[in-house]
Amino acid sequence: MTTYVHGYSESEARRLRDQAGTLAELLHAGTNYPAGSRVLEVGCGTGGQTVQLLARSPTAHLVSVDVSASSLDHARERVAVELPGRDVQWLQADLFDLPFADAAFDHLFICFVLEHLVDPAAALRSLRRLLRPGGTITVIEGDHGSAFFHPATERAQATIQCLIDLQTAAGGDGLIGRRLQPLLTTAGYDDVLVRPRTVYADQTQPELVEGFTSNTFTAMVSGVRDRAIAAGMIDEAAWDEGIADLRRSADSGGTFHYTFFKGVARRS
Amino acid sequence: MTTYVHGYSESEARRLRDQAGTLAELLHAGTNYPAGSRVLEVGCGTGGQTVQLLARSPTAHLVSVDVSASSLDHARERVAVELPGRDVQWLQADLFDLPFADAAFDHLFICFVLEHLVDPAAALRSLRRLLRPGGTITVIEGDHGSAFFHPATERAQATIQCLIDLQTAAGGDGLIGRRLQPLLTTAGYDDVLVRPRTVYADQTQPELVEGFTSNTFTAMVSGVRDRAIAAGMIDEAAWDEGIADLRRSADSGGTFHYTFFKGVARRS
């Protein structure tokens, strides 16, 4: 299928933990599933969103699948530590080949997954059969082209472009957020509603500056340094200058903006 | 000082009317001044925000100034038509040389003005003396670097870049929204709070697509065509292809995103 552009390192696992904590309310507000409802989390990764789903829908029945066995191990451990005693049905599987009957679920949840797929529209179409009529799908994605900041420099922008280009080279789409609405619509879902969920951080919100600007976004871009240089997209000096510039957006007088998109749709 | 990059044509006046109507709630929510408070609108232009201020603060006392006599004529006529009987004190003056005593106002309001100034920080500093201690300033600006859309094309992006570059050449800053927080802070205001106000339009919101994507943003970019070509920034064919691409973001399956920033601060 495709390669997970961010890799599977320990520092990446830590980045995902910081991201999920800082952004939990922004991303998850409005996602609360009723008691007994059957919820499928598609591509749970290391469990960053799984713990949010469990916390916000304490009486729903959650099935979480991922293609990576080691990510599932992380996720299982994370739930055991953060929400001991909470039950999740874990499954290692390819999202294009899930062993569930048609209409087996009331709700699907898929977050930061479509961006890594060669054919996200096909994924959405193939998942649709798992929903009962009237069931909903919730999709959350970022859009790296939504990042802008002060001070603005072309050098910093070039490092972000490396991440976008690596993701494209791996078959994904780092700009997928802006096209969630047409993706869900063409995949056959109804009542599609997509809204931006915006992070804006300046020095009046130091926790958000640290949690998002530094430890989420800049950390994510920094994580592709070696691959970007190895791929000949940028040289070391330009990379280091660009990242230093990007870090200035977290200093006093700096600002940072990023847009996630959250879409909810229904199977009629 | 500087040249108003959008010009003073009739079609520009119409664009500003469409913009103010579509965006009124997004931009003005939260701006309501108490009965009897003395409010100064700095740079009222053709009155697009003036009518909003009057409608939302019906018992405040409004003074609206602009440097352009013809814009003031437009604004006066607009208020007379849309809110007959409502009183505004109109004044033609340079915002750096306003004939008011120190602490003459409870509130300052300045919208889509700083982006056109050579030294917006100096403007904010010079306006500060007009506020009574404890009075507030409200600043609203866009940021043309926040525009992204689907389908994304470099040709469309190039037309937006022409607008940004023309504004820079005229001494302004089309990317000013992202730096409102440091601008207000360094100008000596306290309790600075800046938040994004985001427009996201897709086919599920046809009025917003028409009112904002087409009749506000694309119209604004289209308005600099001749100047961009005359300045040698782009050739006719590239411009027309770029605008055609930009228009596709208003078609079925297209999406458009833009961020305004609204800042409120206090004079201690």
Reported as a single tens digit per residue, the pLDDT across B139-185 is: 999 999 999 999 999 999 999 999 999 999 999 999 999 999 999 99
Q: A40 versus A20: which is more confidently predicted?
A: A40
CA distance A244 to A240: 6
Does a cis peptide bond (omega within 30 degrees of 0) precede residue B151?
Answer: yes
Rg over alpha carbons for chain B, rounded to the nearest Å, is: 18
Of A19, A25, A15, give the one whose Cα is nearest residue A212: A19
Give the pLDDT score at B15. 63
* Interface contact flag, A143 B143, Cβ < 8 Å: no
Q: What percent of chain B has pLDDT over 90?
A: 91
> In B98-252, where does DSSP find H-type helix?
120-128, 154-169, 180-186, 206-208, 219-222, 225-230, 236-248
Sorting pLDDT into bands at 50, 70 and 90, what band is B6? confident
Interface contact A106, partner B, CB < 8 A = no
Cβ neighbour number for residue A126 with a 10 Å cutoff = 15
The CA radius of gyration of chain A, in Å to the nearest whole number, is 18
Q: Are residues A148 and B150, on separate chains, in Cβ contact within 8 Å?
A: no
Q: How far apart are CA B217 and CA B209, in angstroms?
A: 10
- Tell if the CB–CB gap between B204 and A193 is shorter than 8 Å: yes
Asked if A192's CB is within 8 angstroms of B204's CB, the reply is yes
Look at B182 and A254 and tell me if their CB atoms are within 8 Å: yes
Q: What does the pLDDT look like over B209-260, one tens digit per residue?
A: 999 999 999 999 999 999 999 999 999 999 999 999 999 999 999 999 999 9
Cross-chain CB nearest to A196 (options B175, B200, B204): B200
Distance between CA B105 and CA B132 in Å, rounded? 6
d(CA A93, CA A30): 28
Calpha distance A107→A134 (Å, rounded): 9
Q: Is B184 on the interface with A (CB under 8 A)?
A: no
Q: Quick check: helix, strand or coil at residue B263?
A: strand
Please, are residues A235 and A229 in contact by the beta-carbon 8 Å criterion?
Answer: yes
Mean pLDDT of B3-17: 69
Q: State the pLDDT confidence band at A1, using cuts at 50, 70 and 90.
A: very low
Structure tokens at A140: 């959350």
Whether residue B204 and residue A186 make contact (CB cut-off 8 A), yes or no, is no
Q: Is B88 within 8 Å of B58 (Cβ atoms)? A: no
Closest in A150, A152, A198 to B198, CB measured: A198
Segment holding A200, helix H or strand E: strand A190-202
* Surface-to-core class of residue B57, CB atoms within 10 Å of its CB (0-12 exposed, 13-18 middle, 19+ buried): buried
Question: Quick one: pLDDT at residue A128?
Answer: 98
Residue with tokens 């047409």: A182
Going by pLDDT thresholds of 50, 70 and 90, the confidence category of residue A14 is: low
The reply to whether B249 touches chain A by the CB within 8 Å rule is no
The alpha-carbon gap from B148 to the nearest alpha carbon of chain A, in Å, equals 7
Tokens of B170: 């005229």
A·B CB contacts under 8 A: 83
Which chain A residues are Cβ-neighbours of B186 within 8 angstroms?
A: 253
Q: Does A196 touch chain B (CB under 8 A)?
A: yes
Judge whether B153 is closer than 8 Å to chain A, CB to CB. no
Instruction: Report residue B22's pLDDT band, with 50, 70 and 90 as the boundaries.
Output: confident
Please indicate if any CB of chain A lies within 8 Å of the CB of B194.
yes
pLDDT at A153 over 60: yes
Q: Which of A141, A198, A209 to mutate to test the interface with B (most CBs of B within 10 A)?
A: A198
Contact at CB, B148 and A149, closer than 8 angstroms: no
Q: Across residues B57-70, what is the average pLDDT?
A: 97
Q: Using one digit for the tens of pLDDT, what is the confidence trace for A85-122? A: 999 999 999 999 999 999 999 999 999 999 999 999 99
Amino acid B29: pLDDT:
94
Residue in A closest to B202 by C-alpha: A181
Q: What is the pLDDT of residue B1?
A: 43
Give the mean pLDDT of chain A: 94
Question: Are the beta carbons of A112 and A173 closer than 8 angstroms?
Answer: no
Q: Is residue B9 predicted with pLDDT exceeding 90?
A: no
**Which pLDDT score, from 0 to 100, does residue A20 have?**
62
Q: What are the Cα distances from residue A95, in Å, to A34, A42, A63, A189, B198? A: 24, 7, 13, 18, 33
Yes or no, beta carbons of B178 and A150 under 8 Å apart: yes
- Smallest Cα distance from A135 to chain B, Å: 20
pTM of the model: 0.92
Would the CB atoms of A178 and B149 count as touching at under 8 Å? yes
* pLDDT(A227) > 60: yes
pLDDT exceeds 80 at position A50:
yes
pLDDT at residue B3 tops 70 = no
Per-residue pLDDT band for A165 (boundaries 50, 70, 90) equals very high
* A200 touching B (Cβ < 8 Å): yes
